[in-house]
Amino acid sequence: MDPQVSANSTPPDHLVPESEPPVKRKTNYWIWAVVIIVIGLLAYWTVVGNHARNAQPAATARRAFTGAVTVTSATAKKGDIGVYLNAIGTVTALYTVSITAQVTGVITRVYYKEGQFVQKGNSLIEIDPRLYEAQVIQAEGALERDQNVLAQSQMDLARYKDAWARNAIPRQTYEDQEKIVKQNEGLVKNDEGTLRYNQVQLAYCHITSPITGRVGLRLVDPGNLVTANATTTLVAITETQPITVVATISEDNLAEVMTQPQHGVNLPLEAWDRANQHKIATGKVISYDNQIDTTTGTLKLRAVYENKNGVLYPNEFVNTRLLVKMLHDQILLPSSAIQHNGSEAFVYVIQNLQASIRDVKTGVSNEGLTAVEGVNEGEVVADSSFEKLQNGSKVTITNAALPSTTNQEAAP
């Protein structure tokens, strides 16, 4: 018998493939699906729980504001408010003089003290004058000699004139004498010019102040040799009373300024400190530049200040405010009472101790006040506690009692 097994015969048990592994893989898929669902449910419960815990204090806070809100109030008043243009400026002296030597010599004396306020004509520096005094004496001697020569020639001319009238001399002799007199007159004029020049040179030895102002630090001492036409400054003087401020305005505001009386001249210009907290002085515009700076799009202006107390110092940086015009009979509210919701402005108007929202249109602001439209004179608005206020909130006012014109009850 053939030991081989036929094709239709049933194979032995150890040759039959096992069917259990696929069943186990299917069971593993279900386990992973259950785990993912459980994790998702735990995450959802965590998020919902945190949201509920966070919402509870907010709800408690909202419930806390359901009572009367304590506020301070402000009353709308009618008044005047100025339209200002803000700019930066520099304090500039009207006159600044840097004195140099016009003659050569040794400094013999310095009269001024550092930082001294000097008047026009006060002595400042003395240069050794002896050389120039000698030149003046020489010029005076030459002038005196030539004046006498001229006098002699004029006497001879008078004699020649009489002689020629009697036909005692030829006409040529008389005419020659006339020209000699003219030559001597020219010589005298030359001597007079030389004398005046030497006198001026002598005057340069005595340096005086050409303006009234304040001198700077001492730059030379007695014994120093100075030379004529040198660039070394001997003393600098700056006029501080009056003084000016040079500021700029944008070309966009030029038309607004130039439409004012006298094209903006004499408009008040306030000078404020660097922090823009304290006003230093107020002056008046005296001139504008003749062209706009194309690199900055601004126009320069100059204002003058008396500066009697000396608070403005040359080259000092200041903030400026140019009063363009004054608006009259405007409804004014503190700027702090006006709230904004995007581009919209509104206030909380208080009537019968209840706040109601009212939209307003804001205008010019100045020194903590703003001109508004939409509020009547005498109406009272809230000026604090805006984070607690809502439309219709009951309020308690902590500052002064409200005016009777607003028909409000007195605060308890």
Asked whether the predicted pLDDT for residue 12 surpasses 80, the reply is: no
What's the pLDDT at 234? 95
Q: Average of pLDDT values for 215-227?
A: 94
What CA–CA distance (Å, rounded) separates 411 from 69? 12
Q: Average of pLDDT values for 332-347?
A: 91
What's the pLDDT at 48? 54
- In single-letter form, the type of residue at position 181 comes to V
151 confidence band (pLDDT: 50, 70, 90)? very high
**According to the 3-state scheme, what is the secondary structure of the chain?**
CCCCCCCCCCCCHHHCCCCHHHHHHHHHHHHHHHHHHHHHHHHHHHHHHHHHHHHHHHHHHHHHCCCCEEECEEECEEEEEEEEEEEEEEEECCCEEEEECCCCEEEEEECCCCCCEECCCCEEEEECCHHHHHHHHHHHHHHHHHHHHHHHHHHHHHHHHHHHHCCCCCHHHHHHHHHHHHHHHHHHHHHHHHHHHHHHHHHHCEEECCCCEEECCCCCCCCCEECCCCCCEEEEEECCCCEEEEEEEEHHHHHHHHCCHHHHCCCEEEEECCCCCCEEEEEEEEEECCCCECCCCEEEEEEEECCCCCCCCCCCEEEEEEEEEEEEEEEEEEHHHCEEECCEEEEEEEECCEEEEEEEEEEEEECCEEEEECCCCCCEEECCCCCCCCCCCEEEECCCCCCHHHCCCCCC
What's the pLDDT at 7? 41
398 confidence band (pLDDT: 50, 70, 90)? confident
User: Which residues are paired to 54 by β-bridges?
Assistant: none
pLDDT in tens, 255-282: 989 988 888 899 999 999 999 899 999 9
43 confidence band (pLDDT: 50, 70, 90)? confident
- Total-model pTM: 0.64
Output the six-digit token pair for 2.
Answer: 């053939």
Cα dist from 187 to 30, 132, 191, 274, 278, whole Å = 135, 22, 6, 66, 69
Output the six-digit token pair for 227.
Answer: 């030379």
The label of the residue with tokens 């508004």 reads 372
Instruction: Report the percentage of the chain scoring pLDDT > 70.
Output: 84
Residue 78, number of CB atoms within 10 A of its CB:
12
What CA–CA distance (Å, rounded) separates 26 from 12? 28
Asked whether the predicted pLDDT for residue 60 surpasses 60, the reply is: no
Asked whether the predicted pLDDT for residue 138 surpasses 90, the reply is: yes
102 confidence band (pLDDT: 50, 70, 90)? very high
What CA–CA distance (Å, rounded) separates 267 from 141? 61
What CA–CA distance (Å, rounded) separates 406 from 378? 7
Across the chain, what does the average pLDDT equal? 85
Residue 128, number of CB atoms within 10 A of its CB:
16
Asked whether the predicted pLDDT for residue 348 surpasses 80, the reply is: yes
149 confidence band (pLDDT: 50, 70, 90)? very high
- In single-letter form, the type of residue at position 123 comes to S
Output the six-digit token pair for 355.
Answer: 């706040």
pLDDT in tens, 177-217: 999 999 999 999 999 999 999 999 999 999 999 999 999 99
Cα dist from 230 to 203, 220, 221, 227, 234, whole Å = 18, 14, 16, 6, 10
What's the pLDDT at 62? 43
Whether the CB-CB separation of 362 and 371 falls below 8 Å is answered with yes
77 confidence band (pLDDT: 50, 70, 90)? very high
Asked whether the predicted pLDDT for residue 52 surpasses 50, the reply is: no
What CA–CA distance (Å, rounded) separates 92 from 307? 12
Choose from 48-52, 64-68, 79-83, 97-101 the range with maximum mean pLDDT.
Answer: 97-101
Asked whether the predicted pLDDT for residue 38 surpasses 50, the reply is: yes
What's the pLDDT at 50? 55
Q: Average of pLDDT values for 127-151?
A: 97
Q: How deeply is 318 buried, as exposed, middle or buried, from its count of CB atoms within 10 A (0-12, 13-18, 19+)?
A: buried
Asked whether the predicted pLDDT for residue 64 surpasses 50, the reply is: no
Asked whether the predicted pLDDT for residue 290 surpasses 50, the reply is: yes
Asked whether the predicted pLDDT for residue 309 surpasses 50, the reply is: yes
The label of the residue with tokens 């699906």 reads 33
Whether the CB-CB separation of 310 and 241 falls below 8 Å is answered with yes
- Write the CB contacts of 220 (distance below 8 Å, at least 6 apart in sequence): 107, 110, 125, 226, 234, 235
What's the pLDDT at 39? 79
What's the pLDDT at 36? 79
Q: How deeply is 369 buried, as exposed, middle or buried, from its count of CB atoms within 10 A (0-12, 13-18, 19+)?
A: middle
Whether the CB-CB separation of 128 and 205 falls below 8 Å is answered with yes
